[in-house]
């Protein structure tokens, strides 16, 4: 039996926050039936496991930006750090930073997308940085893309901002403030794409910006002429069109024998506490446990149509794109957001702002360490089992 898999089985009374430990050594064997390659790693359950999780400590990650450092920002509870994703049919391989770096030797891994993928990039940086001595690693936060470089292995782990994948008015050097209403060019992707071509691993996401409004502004003409001439198109219609632009570009420009391609499904948000039967709650603020009832399907307001369009487009592609189906497993994690423990305009929220989570809580991004580490464990499972 794999020593790392001694797990703690926990029963949480969802009605209130009382937690009762019902046993400590679950029989791990039932999970070992299948190989990771043959199992749906996205179907499973959250298991409280403070022996193996978190995979690193928040204050030990040299490169973690304070933006995601929830404990540093004053979050009082820490149970959110201790959950491990347990697929139903198999077990995930134990994350080993050195093993990953050896696999990535001489290669470039790039996350492309929005701030959720910036979260995941930061998580991966934290997951591997401890395996490398200080003189062998560096992060350039100012660049575009942002690059984490590991000299010893000649590896770069990069984040490329393109929240709509195609060109938009919120690309650099413009302001990428979440309050800006963007204008996009639905068929213009080559300018971004030229920066993706030489990556060995490309992991895309695009969701958060699409759901801000029922319609999306689509430019008529080019940005050289300004961004005031646009039409508004219903978001699902234009999302599908853009994803087809992306899919065609990938098919025509990526050498799929060299490059492994991934697409992360929608990262859910938690703004409606009635969704998990907490009438006294204010969005995700004050939540300290995941949704643990699995008897009912979860509905936390994720735009399932966007999810399905992405899944369908990817299924129809001529090249293999791995669909990282992280939506459902993340929907359980209502407590894993930064809530009011955030930096805004360079400063922590004031006590007065903190007391108004309805206005200030962030229930979109994720604490690090936290859920994005699990997404990276799933990505790791692919990378180490496929060569």
Which sequence positions are flagged as catalytic? 115, 362, 365
Burial-class residue 76 by CB neighbours within 10 Å (0-12, 13-18, 19+): exposed
User: Among residues 43, 190, 231, 237, which is the contact residue for ligand NAG, using CB under 6 A?
Assistant: 43
Rounded Cα–Cα distance for residues 235 and 216 (Å): 6
Q: What is residue 69's three-state secondary structure?
A: coil
Structure tokens given for 217: 């502004």
Say if CB 68 and CB 124 are below 8 A apart.
no
Site string for ligand NAG, 139-158 (x = CB under 6 A): ---------------x----
| Closer residue to ligand NAG (CB): 219 or 324 | 324
Site string for ligand NAG, 44-63 (x = CB under 6 A): ------x-------------
CB of 197 to ligand NAG, least distance (A): 12
CB of 354 to ligand NAG, least distance (A): 27
Site string for ligand NAG, 304-343 (x = CB under 6 A): -------x-----------x-x--x---------------
SS (H, E, C) 130-194: CCCCHHHEEEECCCCCEEEEEHHHCEEEEEEECCCCCCECCCCCCCCCCCCCCEECCCCCHHHHC
Contact region with ligand NAG (CB under 6 A), list: 104-112, 134-142, 351-359, 369-377:
104-112
Site string for ligand NAG, 219-238 (x = CB under 6 A): --------------------
Binding status of residue 118 toward ligand NAG by CB under 6 A: no
Binding status of residue 106 toward ligand NAG by CB under 6 A: yes
Q: Are strands 155-161 and 108-113 parallel, antiparallel or unpaired?
A: parallel
Per the omega criterion (within 30 degrees of 0), is the bond before 378 cis?
Answer: no
| Closer residue to ligand NAG (CB): 51 or 318 | 51
Rounded Cα–Cα distance for residues 47 and 126 (Å): 22
Rounded alpha-carbon distances, angstroms, from residue 290 to 294, 299, 358: 11, 14, 20
Rounded Cα–Cα distance for residues 39 and 85 (Å): 14
| Closer residue to ligand NAG (CB): 39 or 186 | 39
Binding status of residue 108 toward ligand NAG by CB under 6 A: yes
| Closer residue to ligand NAG (CB): 11 or 43 | 43
CB of 326 to ligand NAG, least distance (A): 9
Closest listed residue to residue 320, CA positions, set 383, 239, 251, 240: 251
> What residues numbered 185-204 form the site for ligand NAG, per CB under 6 A?
none
| Closer residue to ligand NAG (CB): 108 or 337 | 108
| Closer residue to ligand NAG (CB): 16 or 352 | 16
CB of 51 to ligand NAG, least distance (A): 7
Contact region with ligand NAG (CB under 6 A), list: 100-108, 246-254, 276-284, 343-351:
100-108
- How many residues bind to ligand NAG according to rule CB under 6 A? 11
Question: How far does CA 199 lie from the centroid of its chain?
Answer: 19
| Closer residue to ligand NAG (CB): 78 or 353 | 78
Rounded alpha-carbon distances, angstroms, from residue 375 to 259, 271, 329: 19, 21, 10
Rounded Cα–Cα distance for residues 345 and 51 (Å): 37
CB of 244 to ligand NAG, least distance (A): 18
Binding status of residue 42 toward ligand NAG by CB under 6 A: yes
Q: What is residue 45's three-state secondary structure?
A: strand
Helical segments of 39-95, H only: none
Residues lying near ligand NAG in the complex (CB under 6 A) are found at 42-43, 50, 106-108, 154, 311, 323, 325, 328
């Amino acid at each position: 039996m794999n020593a790392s898999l001694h797990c703690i089985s926990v029963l949480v009374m969802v009605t209130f926050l009382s937690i009762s430990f019902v046993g400590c050594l679950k029989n791990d064997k039932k999970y070992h039936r299948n190989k990771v390659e043959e199992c749906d790693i996205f179907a499973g359950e959250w298991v409280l496991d403070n022996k193996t999780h978190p995979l690193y400590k928040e204050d030990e990650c040299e490169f973690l930006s304070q933006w995601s450092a929830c404990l540093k920002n004053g979050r009082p509870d820490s149970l959110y750090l201790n959950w491990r994703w347990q697929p139903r049919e198999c077990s995930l391989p134990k994350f080993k930073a050195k093993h990953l770096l050896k696999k990535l030797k001489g290669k470039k891994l790039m996350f492309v997308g929005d701030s959720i993928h910036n979260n995941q990039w930061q998580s991966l940086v934290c997951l591997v940085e401890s395996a490398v001595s200080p003189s062998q690693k560096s992060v350039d936060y100012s660049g575009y893309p942002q690059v984490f470089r590991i000299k010893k292995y000649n590896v770069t782990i990069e984040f490329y901002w393109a929240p709509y994948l195609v060109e938009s008015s919120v690309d650099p050097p413009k302001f990428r403030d979440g309050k800006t209403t963007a204008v996009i060019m639905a068929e213009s992707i080559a300018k971004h794409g030229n920066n993706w071509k030489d990556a060995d691993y490309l992991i895309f996401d695009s969701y958060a910006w699409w759901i801000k409004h029922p319609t999306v502004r689509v430019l008529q003409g080019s940005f050289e002429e300004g961004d005031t001439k646009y039409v508004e198109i219903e978001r699902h219609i234009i999302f599908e069109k853009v994803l087809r632009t992306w899919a065609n570009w990938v098919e025509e420009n990526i050498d799929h024998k060299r490059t492994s391609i991934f697409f992360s499904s929608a990262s859910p948000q938690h703004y409606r506490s009635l969704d998990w039967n907490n009438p006294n709650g204010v969005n995700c603020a004050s939540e300290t446990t995941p949704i643990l009832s699995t008897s009912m399907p979860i509905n936390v307001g994720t735009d399932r149509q966007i999810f399905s369009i992405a899944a369908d487009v990817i299924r129809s592609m001529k090249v293999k794109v791995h669909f990282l189906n992280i939506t459902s497993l993340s929907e359980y994690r209502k407590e894993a957001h930064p809530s009011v423990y955030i930096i805004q305009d360079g400063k922590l929220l004031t006590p007065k702002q903190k007391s108004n989570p309805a206005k200030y809580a962030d229930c979109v991004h994720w604490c690090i360490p936290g859920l994005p580490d699990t997404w990276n464990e799933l990505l790791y499972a692919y990378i180490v089992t496929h060569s």
